[in-house]
Amino acid sequence: MLKHYGKTILILAAAILMSLPVVSCRSTSSNTHSYRPYHERRNRSNDHNDGSERESSCETDKKKPKPQGNGLVSEEWANLDIKLGRHDNKELYKELKRWLGTPYSYAAHTCGEGTDCSGLVMEVYLKVYGIKVHRNSAKMLEQNCRVIDLDDLREGDLVFFITSSDGHVSHVGIYLKDNKFVHASSSRGVVVDDLRQNYFATHFHAAARVVTE
């Protein structure tokens, strides 16, 4: 009888163990970068790189992007509904506000319809400053800019990032002030972000100023 009960208990115990969830112990590794993040950067030498029909001009009443969840970008910055001082380039802010919310589209550069990061910079610089810059972010840094110190960043300067695994410059945005910059995010379209956000601080490469001959 005891032998029979012992077998029953073993069967029940095995059934309970088999019903328990399996927990994976596989570890995940994070990518490491050979370059220093934004908050550690100082001087660097310049060693490098669609839906219903829309009007041709950008719609001003399109849905505005929401501020980021980390609290660094307030609603007024996300919408560029900020008070501008007499030294601010109002034409630059006006033009960039038109582009806010434009969806990301590789190799495109049409306000309200689609653009990538270099396409946004190219169009804005042509409209606001009358300057034609290169269509590629790496070549833009190499051929149209000079690298500047972070402390020298001013409205309209460009900020470059290395976001790809090949180690080359692959993203660019237009600096405003207070660490804010406008860029075409591949996942969110044209938005305002903060250079102190972890992703951009980690992938930051250089601050630069467009030069004219």
Whether 31 is covered by a domain: the verdict is no
Q: What angle do CA 106, 182, 167 make, to 5 degrees?
A: 60
For this structure, is 109 an active site residue? no
Whether 94 is covered by a domain: the verdict is yes
Total structural domains within the chain: 1
Confidence of residue 39 (pLDDT cuts 50, 70, 90): low
Whether 34 is covered by a domain: the verdict is no
Active-site residue (options: 58, 145, 183, 203): 183
Q: How far, rounded to the nearest angstrom, does the alpha carbon of residue 96 sit from its chain's CA centroid?
A: 15
Domain containing 173 equals: 75-80+89-213
For this structure, is 203 an active site residue? no
- Averaged confidence pLDDT in the chain: 79
Cβ burial, residue 55 (10 Å; 0-12/13-18/19+): exposed
pTM over 0.85: no
Whether 27 is covered by a domain: the verdict is no
Whether 97 is covered by a domain: the verdict is yes
| Domain CATH code at residue 186 | 3.90.1720.10
For this structure, is 58 an active site residue? no
The predicted pLDDT at position 123 comes to: 98
Tokens of 42: 């100082």
Whether 58 is covered by a domain: the verdict is no
pLDDT(122) > 80: yes
Active-site residue (options: 58, 109, 111, 171): 171
How do beta strands 114-115 and 180-185 pair? unpaired
Whether 10 is covered by a domain: the verdict is no
pLDDT(183) > 60: yes
Whether 146 is covered by a domain: the verdict is yes
Active-site residue (options: 117, 145, 203, 205): 117
